[in-house]
Amino acid sequence: MKVQAENEPYDEINITPMLDLAYVLLVIFIILTTATVQGIKVNLPKASAQPSLAESKTKAITIAQDGTIYLDTFPVTMTELEGLLRQYKAGTPDLPVILKADSTIQYQSVVDVLDLLGRLEISQLGLVTTRVVK
């Protein structure tokens, strides 16, 4: 390597600071464009002042991975579930029910509970799922 004297001019340009600046500007550009294109703006509808299902006397039926059926947090059999739901339906004719089932259980268990809810004429039914994040 050649040693350069103090008074001699440079004959090479150091591009490292220029590349650093280009990378910083590229990162800023990527962040700003993805932040501004988050989605389409729409005017969302307003909900009524009526209490939602979560605020009312909602009953939750859960089917665990081992097939155990729970009403709220108490394990029940299908006949116990039918009797309890009849009592709740007598007190609240438009009884809302939420059904949560493990994704690995047999489909027949869910169908049995849905048949029971149909026989009891419970029409306000919610099925709980998880949101898939892309």
Q: What is the pLDDT of residues 41-87, one digit of tens each?
A: 555 566 666 555 445 578 888 888 888 888 888 889 999 999 999 99
DSSP 3-state percent helix, strand, coil across the chain (nearest 5):
35, 15, 50
Counting residues of the chain whose pLDDT is more than 70, the rounded percentage is: 77
pTM of the model: 0.56
- Phi (first) and psi of residue 62, to 5 degrees: -120, 135
The model's pLDDT over 117-129, given as tens digits with 9 standing for 90+, comes to 999 998 888 888 7
CB-CB contact of 101 with 62 (8 Å)? yes
Domains and CATH numbers, the chain: 59-127 (3.30.420.270)
